[in-house]
Amino acid sequence: MNNKEIQKQKNNQFNGNRYSKQNNYNNCKVVNAYNFVSLGDPKNIKRGKVTTGEFSGKLICTLKNLTPIFTSGDSKIISSKDKNGKSINHNCEYFLCDNNNYIIAGSSLKGAIRNVIEVVTTSCIKNVVEKGVPLEFSPCSKEDELCFACRLFGSTGDTKNTSSTTALRGRVYFSDATIDKKKADIVANLVTIKPLYTPSPKCKKLYYLKNNIRGRKFYWHHANKIGKDLTTYENTIEDKNFTSSNSSIQFLKPLNTFNFEVHFDKLTEEELGVLIYSLQLEDGLAHKFGKAKSFGLGSCQIKIEKLYLETKDKYKSFTKCYEDTPVDKFLNSCIEKYITDDRKEIKELKAILNTKNSIDFSKKFFPIIGDKFNSLPQILDY
């Protein structure tokens, strides 16, 4: 057997991947940091008015980073020289913090959780160029025709349509996630990482399938790095030299625990169930937060420690405003209605949020666009 035949045999091995479609990943040699969860069946979009529910309260949550994590705070530019002796400006970035805590901004948490909720509930898609978005998934623009996510988080209307003036306040509020600086395990020195390239026009086809947008963007977890020693990351993301296109960052090491709260106002049982599911997810699934997600940073698990519901005596008593409540009732109703095996987008969501996958990010981080391949396989083809 010659070298080409040996390599072909290796490419055809599936390495435990349960979606065996001729191993498109290896055959196409595509290693991309992200992919797209399908928008879903437009028949499942249920737009309408906000329904006032009976549940107000707060969720007490912890967030544990399974891989290093970095959120941008202060930065400074230093003058240096590259490996060829050329003068350059190099960016140094520090973890977001206040006087006492390192911080993951509440807006970052909210954005990631909303993305999950949009998939689960077949909601509209926002913040994308209108061209390529199916009409049924266009941003909500009328107060009495709001998708599930917009009813929960609020809506600014269709920002692409200047005649749309609808704006609705949300009913879910995220605090920042914080960890005491004294308890945090952070790298002693800044680490110079490889450039985080911005999307190239050459990659335009990655975002489209049959002239429509592929779906909602999510990043893969780097399964081969989760639970591994810090040197695993440094060997694959570190750049030995300063350049004008890379940066040096201060990240937290794995297994730090942040605390945050999610406050909610007048949700229905269904809405609260969807919020709980999308926060905590299922065993083996995890979120992505922060910067450098393409390098495997930011894989995090959220745990709901307590659910407190406001009592009817909130305004009558200063001693009992909240009642400790189990989450199971709300969680189970969500799973029964939304997390079903007949929905392709749910299968895709679980696949890309799974902390175990067969994708090898040890050598390549971005797609190889060649003559024979100019698009991404779908999530379930990996």
Quickly tell me which residue has 């937060």 as its tokens: 289
Residues 366 and 70: their CA atoms lie apart, in Å, by 20
User: Which among 175, 173, 177 is positioned nearest to 97, based on CA atoms?
Assistant: 177
In a domain, 380, yes or no: no
pLDDT in tens, 178-196: 999 999 999 999 999 998 8
Residues 15, 364: Cα–Cα separation, whole Å: 18
Instruction: State the average pLDDT over residues 117-126.
Output: 96
- Residue 374 in domain: no
Does the residue 24 lie in any domain? no
Q: 356 lies in a domain?
A: yes
- For helices 106-121 and 344-353, the axis angle rounded to 10 degrees is 150
| pLDDT confidence of residue 358 | 86
Tell me, yes or no, whether 14 lies in a domain. Answer: no
Give the model confidence (pLDDT) of 313-366 as tens digits.
666 666 668 899 999 989 999 999 999 989 999 999 999 999 999 888 765 555
Largest CA distance in the chain: 83
Question: At 54, which amino acid appears?
Answer: E
43 located within any domain: yes
pLDDT exceeding 90 applies to what percent of the chain?
62
Using N-to-C axis directions, what is the helix angle for 328-338 and 269-280, rounded to 10°? 90
Paired residues of 178 in beta bridges: 103, 259
pLDDT (tens digit, 9 = 90+) per residue, 57-78? 999 999 999 999 999 999 999 9
Whether the per-residue pLDDT at 52 is higher than 50: the answer is yes
Query: What is the pLDDT at residue 359?
Result: 87
Mean pLDDT of 300-323: 83
Q: Which helix (H) or strand (E) holds 288?
A: strand 287-288
313: in domain: yes
86: domain range?
33-366
Is residue 3 in a domain? no
Q: Domain tally for the chain?
A: 1
pLDDT of the residue at 100: 97
Interval 152-171 mean pLDDT? 70
Helices 269-280 and 106-121: angle between axes, nearest 10 degrees: 120
| Listed ranges 71-80, 242-251, 297-306, 356-365; the one with the highest mean pLDDT | 297-306
